[in-house]
Amino acid sequence: MNHLAHCLLSFNDQGLLIGNFIGDDVKGNDWKHFPTPIQRGILLHRAIDSFTDHHPATDESVRRIRPLGGRYASPLVDILYDHLLCLRWNNFSAVSLADFAATTYEQLNQGKEHMNDALQERLPRMLAGHFLEGYNSREGLEWVLERFNQRIPVKYQPDVLADYFFNHLEQFLTDFDAFFPELVQHCQQKIASFS
C-alpha cells in the first residue's frame, strides 16, 4: 500500500503514524533505534507490506497490470489502491478525507525529527501539495504515477497505465474490496499484539 493507506491504518496514533510513514526508509534492525511507539509503526508498516504482497486479490491486480508496469507492477498497484481507498473512504473512516489529511499533516510535521534527512527535506513540499488528498482525483493519481516513473530506471507509460486502470476500474475495485477489509483486520490484530 502507498501513503494514504499506511496513514489510515495507523488509526490516528501518532507514534504508529510516524513509524508507518518512515517504514520504507528504515532497513534491517535499524527500527530498534527508535522510540517504542515509532518502532511499532515501523513493524506495522512491514506487516502491511507483507500482507499486501501475499494476498490473492492484490496478486490479481498485479497480474492485470504487469504488461504495462513490468517489474514495477506491485508498487504501481500500491499507488492505484490509494485511489480506490479514496473511492471507498466512507467505508473505512468516520471523518472526511480532508479532515483526516489535515490531522495527519499536523502529526507528521510534529514528528519530522524522526525522519531521515531526505524525507525531512521532501516533507514540506508533500504537505504543501496536500499529497494525501491527491489520490482522490484522476489528475492527482496521474501526477503520482508520473513522479514514480521519474524515479525508476526502467520507464513505463503512466498515461497508458492510467487509461487501462480507469477503463477497468470495476475489476480493480473488486480486487480491492476483497483485500482491504482483511488488511484492516490484520492491522488491528498486529496492533493488539503490541500490548
56-71 mean pLDDT:
97
73-100 mean pLDDT:
97
> pLDDT tens-digit profile of 107-158?
999 999 999 999 999 999 999 989 999 999 999 999 999 999 999 999 999 9
46-66 mean pLDDT:
97
Average pLDDT, the chain: 95
Cell of 147: 513522479
Domain boundaries, the chain: 3-193
Confidence of residue 20 (pLDDT cuts 50, 70, 90): very high
Calculate Rg over the CA atoms of the chain: 16
Q: Please tell me the predicted confidence (pLDDT) of residue 195.
A: 78
Determine contact, residues 175/61, Cβ cutoff 8 Å: yes
